[in-house]
A and B are shown apart, each in its own frame.
Chain A
Amino acid sequence: MGISKSIIAISLGALALMASGCTTERSAFTYRRPYQPPPYGQQPYYRSQPPPFYRAYPQEGPPSPEQPLPPSGEPQPEQPQGQIGSRALASLQLTQQGRTLLQQGKIDDAISVLERGVGLDSNNGQNYYYLAECWISKGNRAQAEEFNRLAGLYLTDSAWAAHLSEQKARINQMRK
């Protein structure tokens, strides 16, 4: 029984192989042809190196979003001031995430995260500053200018003002 079945199987198999000329075993997923989307809009421009300003001042002054974290353990007593502070803090977490992505050259990911930061706390001007940085990297002068301007509405202390004007100068050097 087994032999006759094997003979049939082998002969038919051989027939099929002759017909197809293809015998290799492949994973079930290697056959699918990936979908090619139609080109849309401008292609993102990625920098291979993080922009030089990171090396200039991650340690100093205002651009460092590392804020002291409240101690863990018992919940903090509830007070209005604390609420505002915690929202700003949560937004700064996103700023930090966005900055890291930007440094890694993942510009689009950085934009997504920083946008979320803007949505969470629109008074956090740092998100706008780094969004401008992202759009500089992507070569979009108009958006970079806008975000630089918006950052200026919120980041009013002198240290940030200097960074903003330095950023503005870099934007002005971009091609229109």
Chain B
Amino acid sequence: MAVPGCIPDIAAMKKRRFNSFLWKWLIKYAALVVVVLAVSLALYGWYLSYKIEKRFSGRRWNVPSKVLSDLTILYPGQGINRTLFQEKLQRLGYRKVSRELEHKGDLRLSPSVIDIFLHDLDIPSHKREGLPARIRLSQDRIASIERFDTGEYVPLLELEPEEIGLFFGAEREQRQLVSIKDVPENLVHAVLAAEDKRFYQHHGMDPWGVLRALYTDIRHAKLLQGGSTITQQLAKSYFLTPKRTISRKLQELLMSFIIEAKYGKNVILEIYLNEIYLGRKGTVSVNGVGEASNFLFGKPVSELSLPECAAIAGMIKAPNHYSPYANEKLCKERRNAVLRMMKENGWISEAEVEAASSSPVTTVGFAAYGRKAPYFVDYFAEQLKALYPEDVLTSYGLTIYTTLDTQVQLAAERALEKGLEHLEEAYPALRRTEPENKLQGAVIVMQPKTGYILALAGGRNYGVSQFNRIAQARRQPGSAFKPFVFLSALDRFTPASILSNEPKTYVIDGKTWVPENYEPMEQQFISMRSALAQSVNLATIDLAMQVGLDRVVDTANAFHFSTTLKPYPSISLGAFEVVPLELARAYCAFAANGVLPYPLSLKEVLDEHGQVLERRHMTIEPVTTPEKAFMMSSLMRSVVTEGTAHSLRNLGISFPVAGKTGTTTDYKDAWFVGYTSDILALVWVGFDNGDSVHLTGSAAALPIWADIMNSIPQYVSDDWFKVPPGVVTKTICSDSGQLAVRGGCPNTVEEFFLAENAPTQYCPIHRGVNPFDRMIREGRRFFGNF
């Protein structure tokens, strides 16, 4: 039946069949591939979505914890160190202006008047709106403080705490989180104008934006614009490492779509504004508009003006290039470009553009994050770490209030460095070439009544050595320990008691010990007051032996030294090593009515929402009576007026001070601990390896102490301790230490006594003299003067 011409073309049929089979096969497998691809895309999408969700529901950023100083109190009549005070105002972000004060943070200085528009104060115990204040100065005192808007007299003015450090994580990022509600409309518009005009219209990707960018770039033959939307930028900076590949681009795009689908525009914008990198402050990166606003203009984001908003938005493209700190001219050009783009979008008027474009870029100025008071921060960080793990400190944005006074801290650091340099210049034997072997010193300044640590310098250079010689070192206190011997004797002995100053040999554990005085003395006997004032070793040992060494140990132990003290005669010369911080704390009790305060550095810890997590209050413990504490202050006053620290007068210290010098065997340590009723400072000078400094405490440590006190007149007054009711004054004979016989005793002195052991006997040396002999003796003395 084959019809010619219709013969089936078997080959062709076979080929067709094969083709259709191939097609079916292809379609089948293509479908499979599509399904597989779709499933894997879905799975990948799910994975990314999971990642985004996880990231968004957890903590988004690590915010370092912030450490703040105490607030600063000003009142009329208070002494003021203008240099330190003005430096402080600068650190607090007050800007000098020459016009009338208009905004918080404005400052105008003249020789006798400081006009200041204070920032808001917001600490746990006190909130206050910023106010304009006029501080009148008269010489180096505050003459008056008043509000210059109302003229109202201000008896007490509080300056906000100052940031002294941050606990950074490894990434060293600083940011202050802002809520979208606090971001001014101008800033939102400026950012959108600069980065993503159609943000509220697109769905994560802006094809028009890409085309426009491409067109601009081609027209100008260089890369001027990127087409990335804010969402894409967020995906890029937030989730992925910075590399440029096609697959990365696709990944980014996919993420942008997911983010857009899952979250609203305002949430995305808020995250973006908090995330963006906006330059560097020293070694720390500044992230987010909150921190940038503070870093550039020294104000919260809500107070930013239009040109300031535009300047920040302009920086996003190349933060270090357009930063006003890097190049003010470029910053201004870029800012004005942003302003024009805002105008193009109809967000601001032509008049606004013109006004804003002509205004200068005024920055607040900044100090890179140096470590202020590094030893102090280390010291209390130890306590903090017992409360919070390291990652909490570096990421939860805690606010930590401390007792530090930055003016005192700077005074202490500078005085220490100056004093040590001066010693090295004056005494070549103290010079060392290697930085780590150099002469060292340490200072702690405390408020004796509250136990607040106002300043702490644990060494002369934290960069060279982080060892804290105040809190971690153990050194022999030498004569600086003597007050505890004298305190233990006050029940039986009085300042007028006569002590033996003769050399004696003591046998301890089978070994003989022959102590000596610092300088040979002729006097065989010496009063207790003079023994402490002149820091006489033999008389002190005599006193300790009479009182009983166990008693001395018990007395000292009440002051909570962490050292195990043993009843050896050498305890009276301070042979047991102590932690300098503990010694300073112990002296606080003498200045605080016999009450030992807990040394406070940490005051409050707040979480990022301002809730108080932790609070430390002044805690006190009686270690001796107010009467004995007063007696000790009186005895140590003589150290300064007539004893080993009398050179203080020549160092510019005119107010009453009590104190004690300390010098150890072979001059390894030089100490001075001095105090008033308001402030106490301890200074130590020595070598880490125990080399001799060849100097006494009064030569090495005392000048540093005086320098500190001269720099902080705000803590100094002419007040002296009030005589407690249990202390009486008597006129006594200097020779016998008993009540003076009127007209009989040739050398008399007014002396303080505890009421219970004041002398009741009259001087036995001059009592028996009959009135006639007395008259002759008086007459001889009178004429003998001529």
Instruction: List residues of A whose CB falls within 8 A of some B CB.
Output: 1-2, 5-6, 8-10, 12-20, 22-23, 25-29, 31-35, 37-38, 40, 69-76, 78, 80, 82-87, 89-90, 93-94, 97, 101, 106, 108-113, 115-116, 118-120, 122-123, 143, 146-147, 149-150, 153-154
Contacts and interface: CB of A to CB of B under 8 A. Distances in A.
A35 B396 CA distance: 8
B152 A72 contact: yes
Contact of A80 (B146, B260, B718): B718
Nearest to B267: A28
B717 interface: yes
Contacts of B267: 25-28
Among B48, B155, B205, which residue has the most Cβ atoms of chain A within 10 A? B155
Nearest to A6: B203
A87 B75 contact: yes
The 4 closest A-B pairs by CB, nearest first: A13-B261, A90-B75, A86-B77, A19-B46
B770 interface: no
B57 interface: yes
Given A13-B260, A31-B56, A84-B717, A118 B388 contact: no
Nearest to A113: B125
B179 interface: yes
Given A87-B78, A146-B595, A28 B60 contact: yes
Interface in B609-650: 609, 612-615, 617-622, 626
A13 B49 CA distance: 9
A83 B80 CA distance: 13
Given A84-B717, A122-B677, A13 B258 contact: yes
A118 B618 contact: yes
Interface residues of B, number: 86
Contact of B617 (A16, A26, A108): A108
Interface string B232-267: 000000000000000000000010011011111011
B76 A38 contact: no
20 contacts: A9-B257, A12-B45, A13-B258, A16-B258, A19-B50, A20-B49, A25-B263, A28-B271, A31-B56, A33-B58, A34-B607, A38-B387, A72-B153, A75-B76, A80-B718, A84-B719, A87-B78, A90-B156, A112-B125, A118-B450
A96 B46 CA distance: 61
Contact of A123 (B447, B592, B722): B722
Interface stretch (B21-29, B135-143, B484-492, B572-580): B135-143
B452 A111 contact: no
B262 A13 contact: yes
Nearest to A79: B77
Contacts of B151: 72-73
A171 B274 CA distance: 52
B60 A72 contact: no
B449 A119 contact: yes
Nearest to B265: A25
Nearest to B268: A28
Nearest to A1: B207
Interface in B172-201: 177, 179-180
A16 B262 contact: yes
Interface string B29-50: 0000000000000100110111
A23 B262 contact: yes
A78 to B, nearest CB: 6
Contacts of B216: none
A82 to B, nearest CB: 6
Given A28-B271, A86-B76, 5 more contacts: A5-B203, A12-B261, A25-B267, A122-B678, A149-B622
B473 interface: no
B153 A122 contact: no
B652 interface: no
B45 A86 contact: no
A31 B207 contact: no
Interface in B72-107: 73, 75-78
A60 B630 CA distance: 33
B593 interface: yes
A5 B155 contact: no
A135 to B, nearest CB: 9
B619 A37 contact: no
B226 interface: no
Contact of A72 (B146, B266, B447): B146
Contact of B387 (A22, A33, A37, A109): A37
Nearest to B211: A1
A6 B678 CA distance: 73
A33 B59 CA distance: 7
A112 to B, nearest CB: 4
A38 B156 CA distance: 37
Determine chain B's interface SS by DSSP, over half rule: mixed
Interface string B593-613: 101000000011101010011
Contacts of B56: 31
A20 B155 contact: no
Contact of A75 (B60, B136, B139, B595): B136
Contacts of A17: 261-262
Nearest to B179: A29
A15 B42 contact: yes
A83 B141 contact: yes
Among A6, A37, A71, which residue has the most Cβ atoms of chain B within 10 A? A37
Contact of B614 (A15, A27, A37, A76): A37
Nearest to A13: B261
A20 B262 CA distance: 9
Nearest to A81: B77
B757 to A, nearest CB: 21
Contacts of B260: 9, 13
B204 interface: yes
B126 interface: yes
B282 interface: no
Contacts of B73: 90, 116, 120
B690 interface: no
B717 A150 contact: no
Nearest to A131: B618
Given A15-B42, A35-B396, A38-B387, A20 B607 contact: no
A118 B595 CA distance: 14
Nearest to A73: B151
B159 interface: no
B724 interface: yes
B50 A20 contact: yes
B721 to A, nearest CB: 10
A19 B614 contact: no
Among B45, B271, B387, B392, which residue has the most Cβ atoms of chain A within 10 A? B45
B614 A75 contact: no
A9 B205 CA distance: 9
Contact of A115 (B258, B270, B271, B618): B618
A94 B50 contact: no
Contacts of B370: none
Nearest to A32: B59
A78 B143 contact: yes
Given A5-B205, A112-B603, A76 B595 contact: no
Contact of B153 (A16, A20, A71): A71
A35 B604 CA distance: 16
A119 B156 contact: no
Contacts of A38: 387
Contact of B77 (A10, A20, A73, A87): A87
Interface in B473-527: none
A29 B449 CA distance: 43
Contacts of B724: 153
Among A29, A69, A101, which residue has the most Cβ atoms of chain B within 10 A? A29
B670 to A, nearest CB: 29
Nearest to B177: A29
Contact of B262 (A22, A113, A115, A147): A22
A84 to B, nearest CB: 7
A93 B155 contact: yes
A82 B155 CA distance: 12
B248 to A, nearest CB: 17
A149 to B, nearest CB: 8
